[in-house]
Structures are given as C-alpha cells and as structure tokens.
Homo-oligomer: A and B are copies of this chain.
Amino acid sequence: MPSDTATLLIHCPDRPGLVHDVTGFIFAHQGNIIDLQQHIDPDQGAFFMRLEWSLENFTLEAAEIEPRLQPLARRHEMRLQLHFASRRKRVALFVSKDSHCLYDLLARHEAGDLPVDIPLIVSNHEHLRPAAERFGIPFHHLPVTPETKVAQEARQIELLRDAGIDTIVLARYMQILSPAMIEAFPNQILNIHHSFLPAFVGAKPYHQAYERGVKIIGATSHYVTADLDQGPIIHQDVMRVSHEDSVQDLVRLGRDLEKTVLAKALWWHVRDRVLVFRNKTVVFE
C-alpha cells in the first residue's frame, strides 16, 4: 500500500457532476485515487462518497487540503470529513468487569491488527487493572456513584482531552453516559450491545432472549447517542443457539459475538469507512 493516504467522507444533496468535481480537485494536485465508493439515496436525494487517495506525489500539504476544498464544499452544500492514514486515532477503552472485549482489542493492537494508539483505559472498577498493566497501558479507576457521576464524568472528559483522545470504545462499560459526555464526542463513542438491536433493548438482554426462546442471539455495535441503545448501528452479527442453552450458556457464547462485532465496527471506524446520516450509518466496506 502507499506510504500515506488521505480519505474524504462526503454527503450532500445529489446533483450531477459531484464525482467529477471532487476527483478533479484530486487530479489537479496529482493525487492518485486508490478507492472510491459513491452512491445516491434516491428517496432522500442524498449523495454519499468515500474517496481515498495516495499522498505520494500530492502537491498540497496536509494542512492545506481542507481549506482548499472549502469553495467546492460550499458550492455543493457538502458536509465533509478529512482523515489521514498516518494520523492514528487515539482510542480510550472504557471497561467494567468483563474482560473479553478488552483482551481481544489489546491482543489485536499488540499484533499490529488495529492501527490506533491506546493511551489509556478507564474503568469504574479495579477489576481489570491487571489486564491493563499486562499490556502496559495506564489504567484509570474512576468509580461512579449517583452522587459522584457528574464530577467523575467531568474528570473523564478532562482526562480524555489531555490525552488527545478522539475515539471512545465502551468495551462492555455497563454505565450510561451523561449527555455532556456524549455531546463532547459526537459519533466518536462506540458501544457494544449484547443483542441484535432493536430486540432486547436495555438491561439483561440474554435473560430476555432466554425468556422469549429465540433460536439466535446477537450483538450490535453502534455510536452512542442520547437515546439509550438507539444510536446509529455500525455492525451486527448473530449466532445460533438451542433450547439446551441456559442463560449462562448464552452469556458465555455471546462473548464471542460481542468481541468480534465490536472489533469489526472499530476497524471500520478507524479506517474512516463510517459516515453517519440521520441516525443511520453508511459503511463503505
């Protein structure tokens, strides 16, 4: 792959000439497009595009690109995001007591399969400190009680800002974030919910699944919004279960789904393949 690439995520009202205009900008500065996906939603009249190009011979500096794109963006009422592969996202992992998602992400990271920096791990329990320390990542224990919640979240936000965090992963964090936190990181907080949403919203989804007698269980990764378990879905997967499986079996089996679904959603997020539009995601796989 090329040494460095830039990625544009764009949505705007559909009209002729959009692809030509944007690719003209890339071509004029000697960029070579590696990957382009574009489609329109005819019902919404909306245009969506992801465009990744090599910066190898590109004649603009990174800092110049966005300003130089502005006239074009304004002309077409575009909302655009610009990302650089070389600027690794800085990810904070939020955990509670369950270790499976945490270990899975840390093992991927160590193996080089997750191109991000992980400057810190936050938890409301001490439980997973040893796991964090094994991988040499600072662990911040910030217990939350109804009384301390506001103060703790303020500290969390400060901590995240200081560490230059741009992505938060709730790796089975089990706490509901306050609106202040969610607004501070819009479409930058990924959660893993242990059901195929919208089924089994809220607490104890495996118990709900057991009670209903479903033959599949699922997991859903979504961006966190102010409405609990209602944010834009990034990825979902399911697994077959049977009448022989107890609630405890569902919990155990579901862990495999949770870690895989969360890791996949995070992969797409860090590769700048997810665009949010009206509480849904466009995932440019």
B-binding residues in A (CB < 8 A): 1-2, 14-20, 23-24, 26-27, 30-40, 42-43, 48, 57, 98-100, 103-104, 107-108, 110-111, 113, 134-135, 196-200, 212-216, 218, 232-238, 242-244, 246, 252, 255-256, 260, 263, 279-283, 285
CB distance from A3 to the nearest CB of B (A): 12
The prevalent SS among residues of A at the interface is mixed
Q: Which residue of B20, B236, B285 contacts A214 across the interface (Cβ within 8 Å)?
A: B236
Contact (Cβ within 8 A) A196 B196: yes
List the B side residues contacting A135 at CB < 8 Å. Answer: 134
A14-B32, A35-B39, A243-B280 are contacts. A107–B103 as well, Cβ < 8 Å? Answer: yes
In the bound complex, CA of A15 to CA of B27 (Å): 10
Contact (Cβ within 8 A) B23 A20: yes
Contact (Cβ within 8 A) B27 A34: no
List the B side residues contacting A27 at CB < 8 Å. Answer: 16-17, 20
Contact (Cβ within 8 A) B20 A243: no
In the bound complex, CA of A36 to CA of B37 (Å): 6
